[in-house]
Chains A and B, each alone.
Chain A
């Protein structure tokens, strides 16, 4: 079956760095997405990786290793507004998105 695994919850301190991991087992792979979802709001797009390596976008970076079925989202210089859930999603061989349950990130002052 198809499976996306992420930690359920993580806690970090304002100003610090946090890494949110995502491992996947899917039928085929056509890319991996990260979305941010604040409580009670809609998910919004953060990043897309299809090739191995690190993609940097401001304070956020996303890494992919296709051979390991692994990705991470790196958030630097954490701010209180980064408190949200982070959703990992993989596009399978049919370009259908398979979603992880999300990682709730709590930022403490």
Chain B
């Protein structure tokens, strides 16, 4: 079973360029999340979606946008990348929104030069 699929696995991007990280899940989970993971810091929530058609801002939303047109897909867009957005990005999903186990994708390593 695929679970959560992220693409691309890694990407080098010039500052100022735009980029969309893709995330697809096949578990019919209601909730989806985007996190970034940086050395020495805990996972930080960028944006989330509790159900298709709704999105919300997390702890570090600036410079990122998301959409949730259907249950399966939750893309993350960087409109104009900056070097501080260099990070590993994880997409995750959960069946519900109250203390549910998170299932993570394999991550997308993004380097902004």
Chain B residues lying within 8 Å of A35, measured Cβ to Cβ, are 102
What is the size category of the interface that chain B forms with chain A?
10 to 19
Q: Would you give the 0/1 interface string for A74-109, flagging 1 where the beta carbon is closer than 8 Å to chain B?
A: 000000000000010101000111111110000000
Are A101's CB and B104's CB within 8 A? no
Q: Contact check, B42 vs A48: say whether CB atoms are below 8 A apart.
A: no
Are B42 and A98 closer than 8 Å at their CB atoms?
A: yes
Chain B binding site: helix, strand, loop or mixed by DSSP?
A: loop
A–B Cβ pairs within 8 angstroms, 28 of them: A8-B40, A30-B99, A31-B99, A33-B101, A35-B102, A41-B106, A42-B90, A42-B104, A42-B106, A42-B107, A43-B102, A43-B104, A44-B104, A45-B101, A48-B99, A87-B42, A89-B42, A89-B43, A95-B97, A95-B99, A96-B45, A96-B58, A97-B45, A97-B102, A99-B42, A99-B43, A101-B41, A102-B42
Of the four ranges (under 10, 10 to 19, 20 to 34, 35 or more), the interface on chain A belongs to: 20 to 34
Give the residues in chain B near A95, CB-CB below 8 Å: 97-99
- Residue of A33, A43, A44, A89 with highest tally of chain B CB at under 10 A: A43
Write the chain A residue with the least CB distance to B101: A45
**B residues within 8 Å of A by Cβ?**
40-45, 58, 90, 97-99, 101-107
Look across to chain B and name the residue whose beta carbon is closest to the beta carbon of A40.
B107
Contacts of A91 on B, CB cut-off 8 Å? 99
B33 nearest CB neighbor, chain A only? A97
What is the CA–CA distance of A100 and B42 in the complex, to the nearest angstrom?
5
Q: How far is the CB of A35 from chain B (nearest CB, A)?
A: 8
Query: Residue among B97, B98, B102 with the most chain A CB within 10 A?
Result: B102
A48 to B94, CA, bound (A): 14
What's the least CB distance linking A70 to chain B, in Å? 17
Q: Which residues of A contact B106 (CB under 8 A)?
A: 41-42
**Any chain B CB within 8 A of the CB of A54?**
no
The distance from the CB of B106 to the nearest CB of chain A, in whole angstroms, is 5
**Minimal Cβ-Cβ distance residue in B for A43:** B104
